[in-house]
Amino acid sequence: MVETLHRALGLTDAEADAIDAVLGRPANPLETAMFSVMWSEHCSYKSSRLHLRRLPTEAPWVLVGPGEGAGVIDAGDGIAVAMRIESHNHPSAVEPYQGAATGVGGIIRDVFTMGARPIALMDSLRFGPLDEARSRWLFEGVVHGIAGYGNAVGVPTVGGETSFDACYAGNPLVNVFCLGVMPVSRIALARASGTGNLAVLVGASTGRDGIGGVSVLASAGFGAEADDTKRPSVQVGDPFEEKRLIEACLELLDSGLVVGVQDLGGAGITCAVSETAAKGGAGMDVWVSEVHQREPGMTAAEVMTSESQERVLVIVTPADLDAVRAVCERWEVRASVIGAVTGTGRLRVLDAPGGTVLADVPAAALEDGKPLYDRPQRAAAPVELGPVVFDDAGTDLLALLADPSWVYRQYDHQLFLNTVTPPGGDAAVLRLKAPGLPPSRRALAVSTDGNARWCAVDPRAGAAMTVAESCLNVACAGARPVALVNCLNFGNPEHPRVMWELSSAIDGIADACGALGIPVIGGNVSLYNESAGDDIDPTPIVAVLGLIDALERRPPGVGLVDGAALLLVGGQGDLALGGSRWAVERGGGARRGGPLPALDLALHARVVELVAGIVADGLVLGVHDVAEGGLAVALAEMAVASSVGFRVVVGGAAELWTEAPSRAVVCTADPAAVEARAREAGVPVRVLGRAGGDRLVVDGLLDVEAGEAEAAFRGAIPAAVGA
């Protein structure tokens, strides 16, 4: 019976044997359930951990690196910034509103349990094409879920990105990023220490929602019809509970009332108690009867593995318990003492204090004994892009324009009066300000980016280009990139090609971060993104944080100014169309066809520094990096943002569409000064033409009325969703 149980819970026979070996006896059903969630792919990173070690994680300004709830950097002026990104792909595929909503709730808890006040959310979303009804249902449901939870919990959603591709039709991606700020002194870690200290469960009651979310749902692919049967594994969110929990938790940390704090996410109480005990080098007793429960008759295994939302575990001294209860009462959140720290190193589950022992395992075995796999890899054979056909550039351009404002207008993106550059630009720019923080003139720029087309051609180079693009995005806001978090969305790791894609993409991120001097301070891996046996294209998403030392004026944004010069700063002359959106969607090129344009990381570092410098020094009226859609789309987005046209000259049709990296279009009233700065920096630059008029003109190639471009841009998504 136990043998079939472990399989039903997602454990392999070998893993079940390993558990019995750790215990020196057969595991009982509760213990099997606890191991199944902790050793799931989602919680254990058993397929990816070996490879993640290759990422650079250190820099003098890193205060907390990967492995905690969130990464933390020192932003200066006594202020620390915490950030993390996490996927909620599988729950969102099954129940888009709640899946996305609880993704937002989970990432916020990761940040405030570090001691930081969450001040910004961003999302990277991927869906199938919107001409499919199911994709529209998923897209609208996810956006409504993010809005419904994020707005009500009171954390602004300041940016993100959304794109559509057939590979996501059966398995959408919902990656949620959260950033928080705190005085450096408030950093909190998930540690249980001090024998006799108490484990207090704070927040929502524990119910039957989300049982097995990490093992049944997040660590297995979807079959063709399996979706609806997994719906009970999706949790249900309550943003009002979370709002009170944020305030209660930050007050507890401010008052110095907690020894350690850990959010409850995947694997629920089991994960929280084993992680805090293992990291604190302690043991813990947990009393099932003391957990406040939503419904009667729950089994111990249900209580221990439930993923009910809006809960955190705090470790407190007995002397502080009354003060902790008083804070929780004021914020109207429940607090129950559910266990105690012991010196035994064992994690024991008892039915009640002093009662029957239901499970007894070494705490370190759940956490440190997690399996580690070096799964087989097989490189995909390179695909040639093949011949492409340049047809009418104007038609192609109009088809590639899409304004994401239908998405972000549903999100409160202004709360806290920090949002200097709202969604829709290259990077969100935020003042570094929150109640309780020292005053500062510094500001933050954040960009989330991912490009599966590039990574499908060449996962290593594509991932490096993704990091490069994200860094250039924050540079366009005048910021210097200082840290990165990533969310690695891949298919089934038991497929050797997927393992190769994952391993190669990690190498690509390491290449770029190493060359650009940017530490990876946290991340998340989402595997088994497949449906009916088809894996998604490799989709590493990165979020790069940039710092602005003194925000004197609003960054220029992407708009054009009538009469100003247009310059192309950075790489010149690479016309490779491999991996470009135009080649695949409009030019008739082969899917996954390469090669990609070349990325010169040394040049890229100089471009990033130059662009950040000329923006910060006020030499720029408008700036936009060249990425998806190439130069044509970059120029058109600048035009529609400002209702100002342009006339430029380029070297040929391929230059309109190549997505060669390390390039930005700069609109300036002082082209000589920008050219001089570029020469000094060793960065190529050339004059493209001039902004002005009411047409988008590339001599000999393109001539579109600005109004027509604007209508195509504004109308694309509303028309697709029937809004």
Residues with catalytic roles:
42, 88
**Nearest distance, CB of residue 435 and other proteins, angstroms:** 5
The residue within the footprint of other proteins, chosen from 97, 168, 408, 582 (CB under 8 A), is 408
Rule CB under 8 A: say whether 722 interacts with other proteins.
no
Q: Does 723 bind other proteins (CB under 8 A)?
A: yes
Give the one residue of 415, 590, 598, 687 binding other proteins; rule: CB under 8 A: 415
| Residue 336 backbone phi and psi in degrees, to 5 | -130, 135
Residue from 79, 119, 130, 147 that binds other proteins (CB under 8 A)?
147
Q: Which stretch binds other proteins (CB under 8 A): 56-64, 145-153, 281-289, 581-589?
A: 145-153
Residue 177 in the binding site for other proteins (CB under 8 A):
no
Question: Should residue 419 be labelled a site residue for other proteins when binding is judged by CB under 8 A?
Answer: yes
420 counts as binding other proteins under rule CB under 8 A: yes
Could you tell me the CA-to-CA distances from 483 to 53, 84, 220, 309, 717 in Å, in that order? Answer: 17, 11, 31, 29, 32
CA dist 83 and 159 (Å) reads: 14
Supply the angle between the helices 601-616 and 459-476 in degrees, to the nearest 10: 10
Q: Which is nearer to other proteins, 239 or 481 (CB)?
A: 239
Q: How far is CA 364 from the centre of its chain?
A: 28
Give the contacts of 546 (CB within 8 A, at least 6 positions apart).
427, 444, 445, 446, 447, 471, 474, 475, 477, 479, 480, 481, 482, 612
Give the binding-site size for other proteins (rule: CB under 8 A): 31
Q: Which stretch binds other proteins (CB under 8 A): 234-242, 314-322, 535-543, 598-606?
A: 234-242
Residue 677: enclosing H or E segment and its boundaries? helix 671-681
Give me the least distance between CB of 433 and other proteins, in Å please: 9
Nearest to 75, CA basis, from 542, 483, 555, 612: 483
Amino acid at 18: A
Candidates 125-133, 148-156, 187-195, 250-258 — which segment interacts with other proteins by CB under 8 A?
A: 148-156
| Smallest separation (angstroms) from other proteins to the CB of 88 | 20
Q: How far apart are CA 524 and CA 546, in angstroms?
A: 20
Do the beta carbons of residue 626 and residue 468 sit within 8 Å?
Answer: no
List C-alpha distances in Å: 337 to 242, 285, 294, 303. 19, 11, 16, 15
Among 205, 317, 344, 410, binds other proteins (CB under 8 A): 410
Which one, 238 or 458, has the nearer CB to other proteins? Answer: 238
Q: Is 363 left (phi over 0), alpha (psi -120 to 50) or beta?
A: alpha
Smallest gap from Cβ 268 to other proteins, in A, equals 23
97 binds other proteins (CB under 8 A): no
Which residue stretch of 27-35, 379-387, 417-425, 681-689 sits at the interface with other proteins (rule: CB under 8 A)? 417-425
> CA 526 to CA 48: how far, in whole Å?
10
- Contact positions with other proteins (CB under 8 A) in 29-88: none
Site for other proteins contains 442 (CB under 8 A): no
Nearer to other proteins by C-beta: 40 or 419?
Answer: 419
Among 133, 319, 417, 672, binds other proteins (CB under 8 A): 417
List the one residue from 98, 151, 233, 308 that touches other proteins (CB under 8 A): 151
User: Which residues lie below 8 Å from residue 390, measured CB to CB, with a gap of 6+?
Assistant: 587, 653, 654
Q: How far apart are CA 612 and CA 616, in angstroms?
A: 6
Q: Quote the tokens at residue 106.
A: 């989970």
Amino acid at 511: D
**Closer CB to other proteins, residue 24 or residue 553?**
553
Binding status of residue 294 toward other proteins by CB under 8 A: no
Shorter beta-carbon distance to other proteins: residue 59 or 152: 152
Sign of the C-alpha dihedral computed for residues 651, 653, 658 and 663 taken in this order: positive
Residue 408 or 582 with smaller CB distance to other proteins: 408
- H/E run at residue 143: helix 133-153
- Residues 511-570, interacting with other proteins (CB under 8 A): 551, 553-554
Which residue number, 143 or 509, has a Cβ lying nearer to other proteins?
143
The token pair at 192 is 């249980």
- Binding other proteins (rule: CB under 8 A), the pick from 331, 582, 646, 657 is 331
Instruction: From 702, 647, 720, select the one nearest 398 (Cα to Cα).
Output: 702
**Cα 58–chain centre separation:** 20
Could you say which DSSP state residue 562 is in? T
Q: Which of 25, 196, 231, 240 binds other proteins (CB under 8 A)?
A: 240
508, 500 Cβ separation under 8 angstroms: no
Is the separation of the CB atoms in 180 and 118 below 8 Å?
Answer: yes
Q: Which two tokens stand for residue 97?
A: 């509103």
Given 31, 86, 123, 412, the residue binding other proteins (CB under 8 A): 412
Q: With respect to other proteins, which residue has the nearer C-beta, 18 or 152?
A: 152
Q: Which is nearer to other proteins, 144 or 695 (CB)?
A: 144
Name the site residues for other proteins (rule: CB under 8 A). Answer: 144, 147-148, 151-152, 154, 238-240, 243-244, 331-332, 408-417, 419-420, 431, 435, 551, 553-554, 723
